[in-house]
Amino acid sequence: MTAPQRHNEILKLLETRENLDVMTLGELLGVSAVTIRKDLRLLEEKGLLFRTHGGASRHNPYIRDRNVVEKELLYPEEKARIAAAAARYVAPNDSIILASGTSLQALAKALTTKPPLTVITSSIYVSQLLIQCNGIQVIQLGGVLRHSSGSVSGFQAENFLDTVVCSTLFLGADGIDLTHGITTTDISEARLNQKMIEASETVIVLADSSKFSRHGFGKICGFDHVSRIITDDRIPGKIAKQIEDMGVAVEIV
């Protein structure tokens, strides 16, 4: 098989698969990993794919910051299923933290049958949803309001989290990558999320399958800080298995 033939075959394979790793491509095409890496570099230079850690993807692994209103329109059914599954880990009288993001807004809607609860959140959208339920005490963190996310960050929120201990943090993510862990597009939000982790006994990440093999600028944490990831059934099985091998439960809904 000539180099142009391999390149065409790689692009055809990526039409049906979200990601492909170097070893799999080498086995499928009967060439060495060195040859595949050279092929991927050339195809990336032509703008035909994106190289990732150990492979290639059709989609840009680097995430841009998008407005929460725009993100709310993406994968609503998947987020509703993820939220329903997450709500099962909340018991009456729990004290929990809900970070920001549209998956957390979906969870807030699913929690209205769970009072009494105490919920700490950085998201004004989550607070607006929960304030309608008399049995839920809402603690809205203060700080600098980000227009794109409708959430706060900064030392005011971080300092408050030093004074509490909660049972569970429900955390969203802009990207989940086997190398970089759990990330977001904003470094100040990443710092606040780290403080939320410190204030919680358990961390559950809510993320639709589009978030995997991608990463943002701000690193929140590695997989060693996460107990469970709840996602939809489009997550590649190989990625789910690799995360589970790191000791994280992957719940697919």
The string of pLDDT tens digits covering residues 9-61 is 999 898 877 678 899 999 999 999 999 999 999 998 888 888 877 788 877 77
Provide the residue ranges of all domains of the chain, joining segments of one domain with +. Answer: 3-57, 68-252
The token duo for 238 is 């190989």
pLDDT (0 to 100) of residue 66 = 65
pLDDT (0 to 100) of residue 204 = 98
pLDDT (0 to 100) of residue 49 = 85
Distance (Å, rounded) from C-alpha 224 to C-alpha 122?
23
| Bond into 116 cis (ω within 30) | yes
pLDDT (0 to 100) of residue 90 = 97
pLDDT (0 to 100) of residue 65 = 65
The domain made up of 68-252 has a fold known as Rossmann fold (3.40.50)
E-assigned strand segments in 82-177:
95-98, 117-121, 136-140, 144-146, 151-153, 166-171, 175-177
Distance (Å, rounded) from C-alpha 216 to C-alpha 112?
31
pLDDT (0 to 100) of residue 14 = 86
Q: What architecture does CATH give domain 3-57?
A: Orthogonal Bundle (1.10)
Closest CA to 38 of 9, 3, 14, 62: 3
The token duo for 157 is 């929120």
- Is the distance from CB of 218 to CB of 189 less than 8 angstroms? yes
Closest CA to 151 of 118, 110, 105, 111: 105
Distance (Å, rounded) from C-alpha 116 to C-alpha 137?
8
pLDDT in 10s for each residue of the chain, 253 residues: 899 999 999 998 988 776 788 999 999 999 999 999 999 999 988 888 888 777 888 777 776 666 776 777 788 999 999 999 999 999 999 999 999 999 999 999 999 888 899 999 999 999 999 999 999 999 999 999 998 889 999 999 999 999 999 999 999 999 999 989 999 999 999 999 999 999 999 999 999 998 998 888 899 999 999 999 999 999 989 899 999 999 999 999 9
| DSSP annotation of 210 | G
Which residues fall within 8 angstroms of residue 184, CB to CB, at 6 or more apart?
Answer: 173, 174, 175, 190, 193, 216, 217, 218, 220
pTM value > 0.85: no
